[in-house]
Structure 1
Amino acid sequence: MNAKATSASDTWYASVEKTSQTDDERIKDITVLPPPEHLIRFFPIRGTAVEALITQTRLSIHNIIAGKDDRLLVVIGP
């Protein structure tokens, strides 16, 4: 899954107008991430413990939001 950007997309960020001389100076490389469909196809979880964990976690979150579970739900992120 080491998909590198094509030469056309390698330079997309270089053509964007920078707002200052220090914009993006710490970025060494840009790598295109695979789309979710590819990850789902290459790493199936159907019938595995991972699927059971996801299902149980979603049910727990649903119960907390619905007031059926008195635990505190904390969502952290951007």
Structure 2
Amino acid sequence: MQKNKQSKKLTNRLPEWRARTKLTQQQLAEKTGVSRQTIISIEKMKYTPSLALAFEIAQALSCSIDDVFQYNEENE
């Protein structure tokens, strides 16, 4: 009997938190020193931000990293 392999996946609630703070993607990009395209890629989970950028995003949204980003186990 084989055990299910578990991997971890980073997910985010960035669009939800941006809406709460009424920031556009461009405004968040300017506050964090990245391009709007980077924010779009993070929101679509096509790009995983560095820890430093995750802190910058959380700070710009006045919340904790855990509020925006989750590192969850998923079964394969």
Q: Which has the higher contact order (CA 8 A, sep 6+)?
A: 2
Instruction: Mark the structure with the bigger radius of gyration.
Output: 1
Instruction: Tell me the TM-score normalized by structure 1.
Output: 0.24
Higher strand proportion, which one? 2
From the two aligned structures, give the one with the greater helix fraction. 2
